[in-house]
Structure 1
Amino acid sequence: MKPLSLNQLYKACVLKDLPFRTTRQLEPLEEIVGQNRAQSAVSFALAMPHGGYNVYAVGRPGLGKRTMMLRYLEHHADLEHQIHDWCYVANFEEPRVPKVLKLPAGKGNELKQDMDKLMSRLMKMVPQTFDSDSFLERAEQLKGEFAQRQEEELEKIGAQAKKKKVSLNITTPGGYRLVAMNGDEPHTAESFQALTQEQRDKFEAEINKLEKKLRQALRKVADWEQEYAEAQQALNEETLHGISGHQIDELVSKYSDQPDVVTYLEGVRKDLVDSLDIFLEENEEQAAIAYASLDKKTPRRYLVNVLVHQKTEEVPVVVEDNPTYHNLFGYVENVTFKGSVFTDFSLIRPGSIHRANGGYLLMDAIKVLEQPFVWDGLKRALRSRSLQINSLERELTLSGTISLEPEEIPLDVKIVLFGDRETWMLLQEYDSEFAELFRVTADFENEMMRTDDSQLLYSKFIASLVEEKKLLHCSNRAVARIIEHSARMADHQDRLSLHAADIANLLRESDFWARQAKAKLIENSHVDQALESARYRSSRIRDQFYDSIRDGTTLVSTSGSCVGQVNALSVLSTGGFEFGLSNRITATCYYGDGGVMDIERDVKLGGNLHSKGVMILSSWLSSRFAVTDPMHLSASLTMEQNYGEVDGDSASLAEMCALVSALSGLPVRQDLALTGSVNQFGEVQPIGGVNEKVEGFFATCRLTGEFTGTQGVIVPATNVQNLMLDEEVVQAVRNGQFSVYSVTHAEEAISLLLGKPAGKANAKGRYPKQSVFGMIQQRLENMREHERQEHERHEQEKQKP
């Protein structure tokens, strides 16, 4: 068999396919690279005007889903969508239910400033005006007129009483008493009793008449008092209107296109008269509360709480990294004053969903699900299409604490959740509302096809990362090296990895080494240095395994031959760093019932897939050598010096070769290692980690001695397209020191390892005697003959008398 050629081991990026010298000449990419399916889903969801078309972006972490989504929204946001400011103001009729105002973007702060100016003016002007001589004179005049009328009316009653020798006395403010007089002094109890019965009856009759007149007079005084209060109120209104009326009229005119604002301003106009004391009295309590809540503007009753202020006309795009209940849905703050907890509408605080209202809200699905009550609250808001700020503490307790119940805010937002496929499947399975609210799934690809056009597109993607991260620009050779590494990450010569986080990290580290070298561009040498540095930082565990190979602790042979012993290849992963290792697989055979004992499975170190591979081997052996007669040869398999769990079927080809060697007695070449899985027909199937496995045996050969020129690795033919080997391996192949072979069937690997043809059965099922399978067949026939002879001897002994 001929080894693979150099161009089959590594697909280089040809510079002529990259029509630029540096990434400075490339236009940064605005689209989502290689994500046509996801981009189509996103554009459909964002264009749908109906509810429920929110997006769940599926893909493993590091694909750059968030970055790509933000970039897409930046260039494809709905420009026709209207955004608004949202404000909370006092509800003068129902203080516990603050009113919400919806204003065009930017108008919320404008209204707040207008109200602040109005209140600031009133705070100065009202006390001055109501303390002025003209106002006090008019107020005193009203008061004097009332007092005069009251006095005249009571004097009439007093005069009538005096004629009847009765005195009208004032006992309390507003309280009057009629007393019989004894000359100039009121009668005492004794003097009154000393009067005749006729005199006493006369006094009582007169007093009763006078009391009726007094009650009539007092009713008149009460009516006059009401008239006075109304006159005083009218004076206050007139005076206050003179100060604020024209200003409120101006505001009403300014916001005439906003009916809710006009209604609020008219409510302010009316409430100013009812709440005049706020401006006239020094209210230390309100000042203290304002100070405690970090808002020194008073009076608080007329503040405008701008909940959401859109600074520009752009549709809001909000990323919430910490979606707690309060961060997402807002909350009502409290302040403490003299041991009491106080709150009002001005202490309502927005959440990220308020800021995203009218636009887009991006969150991580796992973080949303981890936070208590957030997922239910989010679904409730999306279903009702409204936002209500509720105290989480109030929802969780049975406390009857008085709090606010702000008016609901209409919700118009598109939610984008980022998550992995497992979370998406769990939500689909266990949450019946999920599919109704998140009807669009944006399925992000891990890889893209590698063509001339896609390589240029990938180059623009690299250029956009360079621009975004403020890095040095890359030369075309550096871009070519990154593209080659991307193909290595994708484990395929004709695909490119879309794991943006890894590419961004590689660019950052390459930029670091370029700046260390005081270079003006990132070159391919800097990319190689970054890759080598990252490999060195993560390779401590690998080097410990390599040390055990170097000092002979791990038994590995890379030359000579041995019966029933094969070099298999495996991949180990240590925190994101993968490397290949050689593992010695041995097989022994003995007289038995034809079964294959998997030692790894019996000691519970073998996983299900590994056990499946060994069972397939047993089936393959039986189909070759026990079709018509039983196979009286059993075998055992093990992976030597394995002290941990092993799984996967990628060693089944090596295990088959070890079994065939043990059954035939032919030695296996130790300068070759192999990997691959087989099916029941002996076809070699692809496996994962082929690059790491080839490089692992290459490193083993280097650790155990000099290269002999015959060493190499056997891989499945279907894995040739996955080869993107390290430069050291490719150079060794170029120098004739190392080889890589590909096989499509187990017989090819057996022939290559054992040095003889595997053999092909004729019409009678016989294999050539000098073939590997022919030797196994002869050995099994000898054992069957031995079994027959033993059986006959045993029968003869039983027949003897």
Structure 2
Amino acid sequence: TVQKHSLLTFDKSAVEEVVKYGIKLAGRKDKLSTLFAEIEELIQEANYWAVKRGGKKVVLKDILKAVKEHKNRLNLYEDKLLEYYKKEILRIKVDGEEIGIVNGLAVISTGEYTFGRPVRISARVGLGTAGIINIEREAELSGKIHHKGVLILEGFLKEKFAREVPLVMDATICFEQSYTGVEGDSASSAELYALLSAMAHIPIKQNLAITGSVNQKGEIQAIGGVNEKITGFFNACKIKGFTGNQGVIIPESNIAEVMLDDEISKEIKKGRFHIYAISHIDEGIPLLFGVSAEVLYRRVLNFLKENVLRWRKYMGVGWRR
């Protein structure tokens, strides 16, 4: 490309940054992207900025400038969302605690540009026998894979508790302030944590966001867009204010894909932002709830036992089969 378009020579730091960009496009540390058109576009734009400043070579700052300008041309929607977080038009909490509410993470694609954003996921429970109601599905906003993820939650609860006590409850799960379709199962672990919080009546820490698919055994499975999701919550924390204990919980199987911008990497090294990798739902409980999995599950079991007693009393007094 350099010879073909008569570009300036690239120094070592610039070449390294181009390679790093190619790795990011590939989505794994051990792979290089074959999206040559995008890499060529970056090289040509970096050359433009080098020529404009009167440089004789393309250096690191020219590559970074090209990446930044490319992003600025495409991230209007992302900037608008961050503005809404700042003005609290879109509600998001990055500190404190809440019962039955967790920060999930979603990926939004606008064609050329893909970015992550936090989304509040809420769960509410009450007396009944309907099980878990997916509000997104009832509103016809849930895709098939997302609905499958919600059904898996019920499978986990049956495996964990229903051998001892029936699941006598009505529960609802909702993506708050979400007005478009929801697809994928990457939020199923976050949904499960919100549900467990509502059942146990133990608050979840809002300084953390969670992404990860979960199976019926509680094992955390890999998801897509891990870097975008981490960056999305980081940007929300940046807008709302860093506290030093904020971070993201990701699947252990996604560690090889984590490649973050220098700004985020520096904050992680300073201990102002954190990434936690887990392989089972139990491992995230101390991080999110501040109690052991044993304590949380005991509270959930007590809730279910009390619901059974209330239901029997209710059916005996006011209802006849």
TM range (shorter): over 0.9
Contact 2:252 2:278 in 1 (8 A): yes
| Cross-structure match for 2:284 | 749
C-alpha deviation, 1:520, in angstroms: 1.1
Contact 1:674 1:714 in 2 (8 A): yes
1:31-110 superposed matches below 5 A: none
Contact 1:594 1:631 in 2 (8 A): no
Q: Which amino acid aligns with 2:94?
A: T
Shift in alpha-carbon separation, 1:643–1:790, aligned structure 2, 3 A: closer
How many Å separate the matches in 2 of 1:774 and 1:512?
Answer: 63
Q: Which amino acid aligns with 1:734?
A: K
C-alpha deviation, 1:772, in angstroms: 0.3
Q: Which amino acid aligns with 2:23?
A: A
C-alpha deviation, 1:629, in angstroms: 3.2
Structure 1 residue 529 and structure 2 residue 53: aligned?
no
Report % sequence identity. 36
Which secondary structure state, in structure 2, belongs to the residue aligned with residue 559 of structure 1? coil
User: Aligned-pair RMSD on alpha carbons?
Assistant: 1.6
| Cross-structure match for 2:82 | 546
1:209-358 superposed matches below 5 A: none
Which secondary structure state, in structure 2, belongs to the residue aligned with residue 466 of structure 1? coil
How many Å separate the matches in 2 of 1:608 and 1:644?
Answer: 15
Q: Which amino acid aligns with 1:735?
A: K
C-alpha deviation, 1:794, in angstroms: 7.6
C-alpha deviation, 1:546, in angstroms: 1.1
C-alpha deviation, 1:787, in angstroms: 3.5
Structure 1 residue 514 and structure 2 residue 38: aligned?
no
| Cross-structure match for 1:487 | 23
Shift in alpha-carbon separation, 1:635–1:506, aligned structure 2, 3 A: same
Structure 1 residue 712 and structure 2 residue 236: aligned?
no
How many Å separate the matches in 2 of 1:632 and 1:549?
Answer: 37
Task: Between the two structures, name the one with larger relative contact order (CA 8 Å, sep ≥ 6).
Answer: 2
| Cross-structure match for 2:239 | 703
How many Å separate the matches in 2 of 1:614 and 1:788?
Answer: 27
Q: Which amino acid aligns with 1:618?
A: E
Q: Which amino acid aligns with 1:496?
A: L
How many Å separate the matches in 2 of 1:483 and 1:718?
Answer: 24
| Cross-structure match for 2:302 | 778
Which secondary structure state, in structure 1, belongs to the residue aligned with residue 104 of structure 2? strand
C-alpha deviation, 1:558, in angstroms: 0.5
C-alpha deviation, 1:793, in angstroms: 6.3
C-alpha deviation, 1:493, in angstroms: 1.1
Which secondary structure state, in structure 1, belongs to the residue aligned with residue 107 of structure 2? strand
Which secondary structure state, in structure 1, belongs to the residue aligned with residue 174 of structure 2? strand
Q: Which amino acid aligns with 1:657?
A: Y
| Cross-structure match for 2:267 | 732
Which secondary structure state, in structure 2, belongs to the residue aligned with residue 623 of structure 1? helix
How many Å separate the matches in 1 of 2:41 and 2:30?
Answer: 23
C-alpha deviation, 1:726, in angstroms: 1.0
| Cross-structure match for 1:334 | none
Residue by residue over 1:742-779, the C-alpha shift from the partner in whole angstroms, topping out at 9 and shown as x without a partner, is 110111122311111112xxxxxxxxxxx100111112
Counterpart selection for 1:612 from 148, 156, 171: 148
Contact 2:165 2:305 in 1 (8 A): no
Counterpart selection for 2:95 from 559, 576, 597: 559
Contact 1:589 1:633 in 2 (8 A): yes
Q: Which amino acid aligns with 1:589?
A: V
Gap regions ≥5 residues in structure 1: 1-464, 760-770
Question: Which of the two has higher C-alpha Rg?
Answer: 1
Contact 2:137 2:147 in 1 (8 A): yes
Q: Which amino acid aligns with 2:186?
A: S
Residue by residue over 1:90-114, the C-alpha shift from the partner in whole angstroms, topping out at 9 and shown as x without a partner, is xxxxxxxxxxxxxxxxxxxxxxxxx
Contact 2:165 2:304 in 1 (8 A): no
Gap regions ≥5 residues in structure 2: none
How many Å separate the matches in 2 of 1:511 and 1:787?
Answer: 72
| Cross-structure match for 1:721 | 256
Contact 1:594 1:630 in 2 (8 A): no
C-alpha deviation, 1:783, in angstroms: 2.1
Contact 1:568 1:673 in 2 (8 A): yes
Shift in alpha-carbon separation, 1:595–1:793, aligned structure 2, 3 A: closer
Q: 4+ residue runs of structure 1 moved beyond 6 angstroms?
A: 792-795
| Cross-structure match for 1:675 | 211
How many Å separate the matches in 2 of 1:572 and 1:787?
Answer: 42
How many Å separate the matches in 2 of 1:689 and 1:665?
Answer: 31
C-alpha deviation, 1:782, in angstroms: 1.9
Residue by residue over 1:391-413, the C-alpha shift from the partner in whole angstroms, topping out at 9 and shown as x without a partner, is xxxxxxxxxxxxxxxxxxxxxxx
Residue by residue over 1:206-265, the C-alpha shift from the partner in whole angstroms, topping out at 9 and shown as x without a partner, is xxxxxxxxxxxxxxxxxxxxxxxxxxxxxxxxxxxxxxxxxxxxxxxxxxxxxxxxxxxx
| Cross-structure match for 2:197 | 661
C-alpha deviation, 1:652, in angstroms: 0.6
Residue by residue over 1:182-209, the C-alpha shift from the partner in whole angstroms, topping out at 9 and shown as x without a partner, is xxxxxxxxxxxxxxxxxxxxxxxxxxxx
Q: Which amino acid aligns with 2:152?
A: I
TM-score by length of 1: 0.39
Contact 2:101 2:204 in 1 (8 A): yes
Which secondary structure state, in structure 1, belongs to the residue aligned with residue 198 of structure 2? helix
| Cross-structure match for 2:170 | 634
Which secondary structure state, in structure 2, belongs to the residue aligned with residue 469 of structure 1? coil
Which secondary structure state, in structure 2, belongs to the residue aligned with residue 648 of structure 1? coil
